[in-house]
Amino acid sequence: MNPAAEEIAGKRLAEVAGKSVTEHLTTGDHFLTISDDMDLSSGTAVTGQVSVAGDEQMGQALRRSMALLQDDEGRVIGAYAAMPDMLKFKETQRLQEEFLSKVTHELQSPLSSISSALEMLTDTAAGKLDTDENKFLSISVRNSRRLTEMIRGILDFSKLQSGKMTVFPVPVSVGEILAEAGEGLLPWAKTRGITLLIRPPASDVAVLADRKRIVQALTNLISNALKSTPKGGTVLVAASRALNPEPGVVIGVRDTGHGIAKENLKKIFDKFVQVESAEPREGVGLGLAIVSEIVALHSGKIWAESDLGKGATFYFTLPLAAA
């Protein structure tokens, strides 16, 4: 099984090795075709026949959506396919996104009131509460902030998906971007016992960027790095000029955490994805998807490099501002 087969089956090769591939078919989801000409060692003629296994309705849907391509001599040279019920699929996806956006908007107002009340209670009554009461109040404030961040993330993602999020790139100093994103997280890094280093380029340079959105993206990456780094570790935020494939600036965030498995490096930028980690993850798995979309809106690229046990580095590029 290659990675694509593992993803479709929902099983790893190690789990199914030595077993018949038909044991893991899910009715209504999977359909298997296997050539009858698997063993030609005895010199038998090629029949061109295949055996099928799976739900018949699934098979009919696939047959209606796929056609073989043949050359002038009747040899199969490829296939032409279209996803069945694509319009229904797109409509369902649109309704899901619309529902998500409406729900988060409805949650935003009452949550803002709750958060404000908790903040006011902290300012006026914290000194009159005993240790346990202050502890519960602190937990409530922290969780209300966490919910607020989740809702903002969902709303941002809804805007990105619907094309309603716009950016207004202007020349911005890279050093100022790094400083603004990093300085806001220095107190948090200190409370976690982590060293947060900010290293702007030796010779400051201007990029073409929407300052608010790029600071948002970089803050998200630094925040993730801090969450992944144990006490006593280091998070480094740096930037440098890049010449290939085209002139620009590369900004990187490196941590000394547990790292990310090679097979997860691409999927971490997908929506609602949270890879396995030694540390408990918060949120709904939209943070990196939002960062990726923001970078794409700036005509930039984003990627990650990591080895398990050796930390991870996230990079993204931004175009240079015209001199």
Task: Give CB contacts under 8 A, 24+ apart, made by 90-94.
Answer: none
What pLDDT sits at residue 107? 77
Q: Are residues 145 and 25 in the same domain?
A: no
In terms of domains, do 218 and 310 share one? yes
Is 77 found in the same domain as 90? no
Q: What is the pLDDT of residue 222?
A: 94
Same domain, 50 and 155: no
CA distance 177 to 154: 24
Q: Provide the residue range defining the domain that includes 51.
A: 3-81
- 48 & 68 share domain: yes
Number of domains in the chain: 3
Residue 78 CA to residue 140 CA, distance in Å, equals 59
End position of a domain, from candidates 113, 146, 162: 162
- Asked whether residue 72 falls in the same domain as residue 114, the answer is no
Of 145, 162, 179, the last residue of a domain is 162
The CATH code of the domain that includes 199 is: 3.30.565.10
CATH of the domain at 132: 1.10.287.130
Do 194 and 301 reside in the same domain of the chain? Answer: yes
Does residue 95 sit in the same domain as residue 123?
A: yes
Do 30 and 157 fall into the same domain? no
pTM tops 0.85, yes or no: no
Same domain, 54 and 185: no
Residues 74 and 124 in one domain: no
What are the two backbone dihedrals, phi and then psi, of residue 80, each rounded to the nearest 5 degrees?
-120, 125
Residuewise pLDDT in 10s, the chain (323 residues) = 677 777 767 777 777 777 777 776 666 567 777 777 766 666 677 676 777 777 666 667 667 777 888 888 888 788 887 766 655 666 676 777 777 777 777 777 788 788 888 888 888 887 888 888 888 888 888 788 778 777 777 777 777 766 677 889 999 999 999 999 998 889 889 989 999 999 988 788 999 999 999 998 999 999 999 989 999 999 999 999 887 667 799 999 999 998 998 888 888 888 767 766 555 555 556 788 889 989 999 999 999 999 888 899 999 999 998 86
58 and 29 Cβ atoms separated by less than 8 Å: yes
The tokens describing 194, both together, are 């982590």
Does residue 100 sit in the same domain as residue 223? Answer: no
Using CA atoms in the order 274, 275, 280, 283, what is the torsion angle rounded to 10 degrees?
-10
Q: What local confidence, expressed as pLDDT, does residue 34 receive?
A: 76
Final residue belonging to a domain, choices 27, 60, 81:
81
